[in-house]
A = this chain, B = another copy of it.
Amino acid sequence: MEFSEKRQPLVVIVGAGFGGLRAAKRLAGGPVDVILVDQHNYHTFMPLLYQVARAALEPEEIAYPVRRVFRGERNINFRLARVEAVDLLRQRLLTSQGPITYDYLILAAGSATNFFGQADIQQHAYGLHDLKDAVALRNHLLTVFEQVTQETDPARRAALLTFVIVGGGPTGVELAGAYSELIQTVLAQEYPQLDFSQVRILLLEGGPALLAALPPDLREAALASLQAKGVEVRLRTAVASATADEVRLKDGTVIPTATLVWAAGVRAADLAATLGQATARGGRVRVRETLQLPTTPNVFVIGDIADLEEDGKALPQVAQVAMQQGTHAAANILHHLHGEPLVPFRYHDLGTMATIGRHAAVGQIGPWRLKGFIGWLMWLFIHIVQLIGVRNRLFVLINWLQDYLFYARSARLITTEDMQRLGEPNIREDSGEPIRAANEMAVQTGD
């Protein structure tokens, strides 16, 4: 019912991230039918997830319905389903909604937070990998400040006001800068009774420097910028274990905290393991230069879930690689259909950027190295332009303009119903029923 009557080759794309979306766009209007499968009905603009986590943007400002993207494209169909496994022999996917067969498959299922097998960290840390993570972290942050206003134990207050972020890549750096500003400016206005000098933001990085992908002078600019914002940066520092109340470092230091954010790495999505193929670091699937599975020419694997080396170095797990590979895999499928030779993939590095709060960023775009305010403007421009949809761009721009001019973000709703997080109900011996009876007594005996 979902397909046109004349039978064209069917390309199934798993994942509506940067790679999957680009692949589908390349195939729109082409001589194939396409089914794009994702477990969400929207595309997430992941580079701005941390802005949702700091309550500066709303989920829908960085997400966009997939059906909207392909409205009017008659050969692109969307299917809301979770893909459980790939059955290479029978050329089909097993999904939460039943099997989907394919002629060609593009696997763009992305990545997940890598907790490196540490169950305690997985249990107590907040990841920052999808919209749900970001909303959970935002709700937690805002709830912590409500908790602090009601907490009388000084040690517990100190722990609530300590925020530990692990991972000195772009996500960790951006989040640390953003949290520092949010707390010292906006929240300080709204909680006038709190002593904000007690707030500590720690950024822990296992290696010798932040933002390892950037050249040394930009790394140092980032470090200096964070320190100027009051972030305590600790290099060569690794987490050993975590509980709900504290983080223990490998050197034995214990940091009491209610907030551990884990931005220390990603691994391939679970789907990779069902392929039964050779995998590389983080469970990523090794692919040919043409992006095909080595054993299966009609299956292409792209983006974070794929492992491809170039000049002896694995390609980074970034949006640019996924986007370029998406377009490339789609083009190679068309080559294959037309009996033409497939083309090896080459990555064109357009640069790397990271922002450190309200008006500072560092980046390298081709030959240019940017920092400070100019870097931030460039960062803003690139991200706004890439956001899908006129409405989203406009709203994000308004939000940021307002933010920049007034420090006034209004998007700070705690959207969880999870009142236990605030502490146990405190009505033990004074339960509702006796109170009601007592109140009724008062009514009967008069005022």
**How distant is A70 from chain B, measured CB to nearest CB, in Å?**
9
Bound form: Cα–Cα A263–B37 in Å: 35
Copies in the complex: 2
Instruction: Assess the B412–A193 pair: CB atoms within 8 A.
Output: no
**Is the C-beta of A320 less than 8 angstroms from some C-beta in chain B?**
no
Instruction: Assess the A413–B65 pair: CB atoms within 8 A.
Output: yes
Bound form: Cα–Cα A441–B88 in Å: 10
Partner of A432, one of B71, B94, B142: B94
Q: A64, A99, A414, A427 — which one has the most chain B CB atoms within 10 A of its CB?
A: A427
**Is the C-beta of A273 less than 8 angstroms from some C-beta in chain B?**
yes
Instruction: Assess the A191–B84 pair: CB atoms within 8 A.
Output: no
**How distant is A305 from chain B, measured CB to nearest CB, in Å?**
15
* Nearest-neighbor residue (CB-CB) of A132 within chain B: B417
- The residues of B that contact A395 with a CB separation of less than 8 Å are 395, 398
**How distant is A422 from chain B, measured CB to nearest CB, in Å?**
6
Instruction: Assess the B275–A79 pair: CB atoms within 8 A.
Output: no
Known: A60-B58, A427-B85. A442 touches B411 (CB 8 A): no
Q: A2, A278, A443, A447 — which one has the most chain B CB atoms within 10 A of its CB?
A: A443
Q: Mark A403-438, 1 if CB is under 8 A from B, else 0.
A: 000001011111101010011111100111001111
- How many residues of A are counted as interface, with CB atoms below 8 angstroms from the partner's CB atoms? 91
Bound form: Cα–Cα A41–B296 in Å: 54
- The residues of B that contact A131 with a CB separation of less than 8 Å are 413, 415
List, sorted by A's number, 27 A–B pairs whose CB atoms are closer than 8 Å: A2-B150, A58-B58, A60-B410, A64-B410, A65-B190, A67-B412, A68-B412, A71-B190, A79-B150, A81-B150, A81-B419, A84-B425, A84-B427, A84-B432, A88-B438, A88-B439, A89-B438, A94-B435, A95-B425, A96-B422, A96-B424, A97-B426, A98-B150, A99-B426, A131-B413, A274-B435, A275-B439
Which residues on A are within 8 Å of B, measured CB to CB? 1-2, 39-42, 58-60, 63-65, 67-68, 71, 74, 77, 79-82, 84-89, 94-99, 131-132, 142-143, 146, 149-150, 152, 189-193, 273-278, 295-297, 389, 391-392, 394-395, 398, 402, 408, 410-415, 417, 419, 422-427, 430-432, 435-443, 446-447
